[in-house]
Every structure is written in C-alpha cells, then in structure tokens.
Amino acid sequence: MLNMVQQLGRFGLGFLERLGRAFLFLLQTVAGLPNLLPRPGLVIAQVYSTGVLSLLIIVVSGLFVGMVLGLQGYNTLVKFNAEESLGVVVALSLVRELGPVISALLFAGRAGSALTAEIGLMKATEQLSGMEMMAVDPVKRIIAPRFIGGVISLPLLAAIFSMVGVFGGYFVGVTLLGVDSGAFWSQMQAKVSFHEDIVNGVIKSVVFAIVVTWIAVFEGYDAVPTSEGVSRATTRTVVYASLAVLALDFLLTALMFREG
C-alpha cells in the first residue's frame, strides 16, 4: 500500500520536474531568439522544412474537411429550408475551430515528430555535445531557429487551411448541390465577424503553434540518447502535442466565444 503511494509520489515529482525543465528550456530558447536576427537564413530553412513541406497535407485536408462540412451541413440545413446558411456553417466551423485545431494536429504529426526525431538523433550521435565542445550553444544554434520556424509556419498553415476549406465548402454547396452563390457569400459575410471570429482563430493558432513546437523541440532535446529513446520521444511528441492542443482548444473556446 505504502509502496503504491510512494510510486504515485515519485510519478508526480518526476512529472513536475520535467515540467519545470521544459519551462526553463522554453525560457532559454526565447532568450536565444535575438541571436537569430543577424542570421535569418537559419529560420528560413526551418520555415521551409516545417511549413512549406507541410503545405500539401494541409491543403488536401483543408479541401476535404471543407467539402465534408459542405455536404453534412447541407444535409442538415435542407431539412429546415435554411440551406442558404451553409456558408455561415462552413466558415464559422473552419475559422473558429477546425482550421486552427486540425492544422495543429497535422502539424504535430507531420512537422513536430520530424523535429523531435531530428534533434533526438543529433543528441544520440553526440552532435549537440560536439557543438558545446566548440563553444557553440546548441540551444541558440539548433533549437531557437526550429522553434521560431514552427511558430511562424503554423498560423500561416492554419489560415491556408481555413481558406481552402471555405472554397471546398463552396464547391460542394454551390457547384454540386445548387445553393445560391450570392446567399452563400452574403450570409457568411453578415454572420462572420472579423474581430471576434477571425482574430480569435488566429490567436488560437498562434497559441497552438507555440505549444506544439515547444513540446516537439523539448522532447527531442530531452530524449534518452538511444534509438529506442528517440522513437519514444517522437511518439510522446505526437501524443502530448495532440492532447495539449485539444485541451487548450476547449479552454480558449470557453474564454473567447461566450454569447453575451
């Protein structure tokens, strides 16, 4: 019995210790950001590998999510003779929720796992220690550009996701199912507010970007430097990042969208 309590305590302490380390690591990373100003090439390369290379999966998923929303929304709305509101349904669900959340989940799987594996492998092959020997701070040289690259990429990807999704919904609703094109756009513009919906969606995606990239680089940096450790760290990145995104999404939604 006492052993179980002890194990629970050890687990809790370990968790807190890891959380503290992750936070200190984030502070260190942020402190390393000004060093990147004279060397934008490092960040550009990271935006390329996390952002540009994720573009395909984001565009294709956005298109299909928008098309499915169009179909499902139409099937429901047509029962109430309200299929003109299809644009509102598609745009609001994409801009407020699905755009930021699904792109963050895809980003965690596509780019976050790659970041963790890359940094973990650098650690396992002692490239990071080598850098320290050469008096190069790996946090500034390796981690900071990857962190800021991810933070730049994800909000852009989320905006692209939402836009492509709206056009996917437009394609299904207007072109295939015959909703009036004018009603689709005008209802959307009447109901979607820039300040409340679009800006809050962007805030969400920025928060998700910071959290997902933070988890990814920390797990890589903190990985046990063996092949098994790197593979576990990669799994943890995807699991923790997805859970964090979903939980934070609930929190942010509760704070942002209160009908008043």
- Judged by the rule CB under 8 A, the positions of this chain that interact with other proteins are 41, 44-45, 47-48, 51-52, 55, 91, 95, 152-153, 155-157, 159-160, 162-164, 166, 185, 188-194, 197-198, 202, 259-260
Residues 6+ apart with CB under 8 A from 125: none
Tell me the closest approach of the beta carbon of residue 104 to other proteins, in angstroms. 15
Question: DSSP 3-state assignment of 236?
Answer: helix
Tell me the closest approach of the beta carbon of residue 224 to other proteins, in angstroms. 32
Q: Which residue lies nearer to other proteins by CB, 32 or 169?
A: 169
Q: Which residue lies nearer to other proteins by CB, 184 or 221?
A: 184
Q: How far is the CA of 189 from the CAs of 84, 98, 174, 185, 205, in angstroms? A: 12, 19, 16, 6, 22
The Cβ of residue 127 has, within 10 Å, a number of other Cβ atoms equal to 13
Q: Which residue lies nearer to other proteins by CB, 2 or 37?
A: 37
Tell me the closest approach of the beta carbon of residue 170 to other proteins, in angstroms. 10
Q: Which residue lies nearer to other proteins by CB, 22 or 59?
A: 59
Show the tokens assigned to 90.
């598609």
Tell me the closest approach of the beta carbon of residue 221 to other proteins, in angstroms. 24
Q: Which residues of 186-204 are buried (b: 16+ CB within 10 A; e: fewer)?
A: ebbeeebeeeebbebbbeb
Distance of CA 15 to the CA centre of its chain: 23
